[in-house]
């Protein structure tokens, strides 16, 4: 049973948009903070955005103003709306909890931005 299932990735042109989804187990989703991460080939995994149970959000400077993180507690699902995509956004995107001990990483979803 997967703890996280990411979906919604794909190939888009620069300036395009994608909406990523993350379905998580109820126990993990009930923690305070959920987050999106990404990892490009040869790079370290980096934090993209996070959201608390109360709706407070934080974004990496590189995506601020372009990405919007949200969550649906009833569905135990988190989203990442990505607009004005740039080639440097190309990476595998993962979701995870920031407040759950022992959580593991899912398979992620590939986002490729290229003309």
pLDDT for 101 beyond 90:
no
Residues 6+ apart with CB under 8 A from 16: 85, 113
First to last CA, the chain: 37
> 30-87, pLDDT tens digit by residue?
999 999 999 999 999 999 999 999 999 999 999 999 999 999 999 999 999 999 999 9
The pLDDT score that the predictor gives to residue 4 is 95
Tokens 């398979």: give the residue.
107
pLDDT digits (tens, 9 = 90+) for 8-38: 999 999 999 999 999 999 999 999 999 999 9
């Amino acid at each position: 049973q997967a703890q996280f299932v990411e979906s919604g990735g794909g190939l888009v042109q620069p300036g395009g948009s994608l909406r990523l989804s993350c379905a998580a187990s109820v126990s993990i989703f009930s923690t305070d903070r959920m987050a999106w991460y990404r990892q490009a080939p040869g790079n370290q995994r980096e934090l993209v955005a996070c959201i608390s149970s109360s709706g407070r959000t934080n974004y990496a400077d590189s995506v601020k103003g372009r990405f919007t993180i949200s969550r649906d507690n009833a569905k135990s699902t988190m989203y990442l709306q990505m607009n004005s995509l740039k080639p440097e956004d190309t990476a595998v995107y993962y979701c995870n909890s920031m407040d759950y001990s022992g959580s593991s990483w899912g398979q992620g979803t590939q986002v490729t931005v290229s003309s």
